[in-house]
Amino acid sequence: MRKWMWALLLIIPVVELYGFILMSDWIGAGKTLLLMILTSLIGIAMLQFEGRKVLLDARNEMERGQVPGRKMVDGLFIFVGGFLLMIPGFVTDIIGFTLVFPLTRPIYRLFFLGWLEKKMRNGSITFYRRPK
């Protein structure tokens, strides 16, 4: 796990810098910088809107006596997507937007829940239920 973290810390800035250089060559440095600021502002606005919506939906499910499992996963994705949107760069913005956007979030949820189920089956993650 630590090796992956170090690799990501080295690879992500290189990829973002490469994307910035490509975009600067294509539309100009000033417009590229403005576009990065604009995508961050739009992302923060989407984060606030979608975050409120997920919190409200989770609260409604809890009031009905249901466990808001899917809403909690959505909230996690919105949080991670918002964090990625605050990082300057186009690659992190694309991933962040797809995590925050409600139409693409189910794709991530499908892969995440499959990964989580696999980890629970092989014993890497243990789930305990609280007795009633």
Residue type, 48: Q
Structure tokens at 19: 């994307």
Give the H/E segment covering residue 81: helix 69-86
Structural domain boundaries of the chain?
Answer: 1-121
Stated pTM of the model: 0.77
Interatomic CA distance for residues 86 and 60, integer angstroms: 29
Interatomic CA distance for residues 75 and 79, integer angstroms: 6
pLDDT in tens, the chain (132 residues): 678 888 888 888 899 899 899 999 999 989 999 988 888 888 888 888 888 888 888 888 888 888 888 888 888 898 899 888 888 888 898 899 899 888 998 999 999 988 888 888 887 776 667 776
CA atoms within 13 A on the CB side of 45: 6
